[in-house]
């Protein structure tokens, strides 16, 4: 990964492995228990906020910007909504399916706005208020367009439901590997472009953890995995300036070739996701706002089977 990052070492490799394992473990423990979920996502944020404002925690540079707090609040809002769908009668209401697609679209829109902001503000490599060194350029515009495509290609939300097993996961069967791949590549490019200093962990690490959780632990619950892991990471990143530790200081190369490559890959893959959506709509004559369009795929059927639906 020398093309994208510098400062990689054996220590940073093992730190990344530990990082992914810890967040996978925390996600799994909270996914399997309503009580633990309440502790992790309701009590812990309050405790950490108190420790930052009136206690010994000094917080991190991210906590000194509006964007850092917005990301924490939006990630937690997603978790709260998903918990309400999973553990209350809200999940039985038809209107409840609007929340997951709305909160994800809003989260993506925040990132798209940030891409445009970086393009307009950081024409030369410089520090942002959160202490990130950023280099803006046309790649931001390209990846912003890819982000808009990840909103357009959200399909089949009418099929969101709760799994029929002990964990009662929020399942989105139409969100197959095709969409997950497009989103993950786009989001990694976004973090690399706009939160550059933290791209290895805030980008690759937590995205990889969510993918592992989806395909090794519980299929169909990728958005739930993503929201919980992102929330836990955001709380950690806002509370502690972890870049004071050497193995977390994996810096991007700031190579324009790398920036262009990621954003071009992002737009190409997401145009492919859009093409796949258009093909499925035309081939099977389905309305993406009223029906699940990938129900004919093996990925969809595996999700249904894995969740006893």
Tell me if residue 215 falls in helix, strand or coil: helix
Residues 234 and 62: their CA atoms lie apart, in Å, by 9
Give buried/exposed letters for 170-208 (b at 16+ CB in 10 A, else e): bbbbbbbbbbbebbbbbbbbbbbbbbbbbbbbbbbbbbb
What is the predicted pLDDT for the residue at 128? 80
| Nearest by Cα to 187 from 111, 89, 73, 247 | 111
Range of the domain at 252: 5-306
Q: What is the pLDDT of residues 218-247, one digit of tens each?
A: 999 999 999 999 999 988 887 776 666 666
pTM of the model: 0.92
Task: Name the packing angle between helices 222-239 and 66-87 (round to 10°).
Answer: 140
**pLDDT of 1 higher than 70:** no
What is the predicted pLDDT for the residue at 6? 87
**pLDDT of 60 higher than 90:** no
Cβ-Cβ contacts under 8 Å for 107 (sequence gap 6 or more): 74, 75, 78
Neighbour-count burial of 289, counting CB atoms closer than 10 A to its CB (0-12 exposed, 13-18 middle, 19+ buried): exposed
How many domains is the chain partitioned into structurally? 1
Over pLDDT 90: what percentage of the chain?
Answer: 67
Tell me if residue 127 falls in helix, strand or coil: strand
CA of 245: how far to CAs of 52, 211, 236, 242, in Å? 19, 26, 14, 6
Looking at residues 254-270, what average pLDDT do you find?
Answer: 96
What is the predicted pLDDT for the residue at 17? 93
């Amino acid at each position: 990964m020398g093309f994208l990052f510098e400062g990689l070492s054996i220590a940073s490799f093992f730190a990344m492995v530990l990082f992914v394992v810890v967040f996978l473990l925390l996600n799994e423990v909270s996914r399997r228990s309503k009580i633990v979920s309440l502790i992790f996502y309701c009590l812990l944020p309050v405790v950490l906020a108190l420790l930052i404002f009136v206690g010994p925690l000094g917080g991190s540079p991210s906590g000194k910007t509006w964007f850092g707090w917005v990301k924490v609040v939006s990630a937690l809002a997603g978790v709260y909504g998903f918990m309400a769908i999973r553990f209350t009668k809200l999940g039985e209401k038809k209107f409840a399916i609007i929340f997951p697609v709305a909160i994800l679209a809003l989260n993506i829109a925040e990132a798209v706005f940030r891409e445009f902001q970086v393009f307009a503000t950081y024409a030369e490599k410089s520090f942002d208020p959160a202490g990130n060194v950023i280099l803006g350029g046309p790649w931001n515009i390209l990846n912003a367009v890819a982000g808009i495509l990840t909103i357009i290609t959200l399909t089949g939300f009418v099929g969101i439901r709760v799994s029929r097993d002990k964990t009662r996961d929020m399942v989105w069967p139409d969100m197959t590997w095709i969409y997950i791949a497009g989103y993950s590549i786009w989001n990694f490019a976004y973090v690399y472009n706009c939160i550059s200093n933290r791209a290895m962990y805030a980008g690759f690490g937590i995205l990889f953890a969510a993918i592992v959780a989806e395909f090794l632990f519980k299929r169909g619950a990728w958005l739930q995995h993503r929201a919980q892991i992102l929330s836990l990471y955001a709380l950690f990143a806002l509370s502690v300036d972890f870049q004071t530790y050497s193995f977390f200081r994996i810096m991007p190369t700031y190579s324009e070739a790398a920036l262009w490559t990621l954003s071009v890959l992002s737009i190409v893959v997401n145009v492919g996701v859009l093409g796949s959506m258009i093909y499925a709509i035309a081939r099977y004559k389905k309305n993406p706002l009223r029906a699940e369009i990938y129900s004919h795929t093996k990925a969809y059927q595996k999700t249904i089977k894995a969740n006893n639906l």
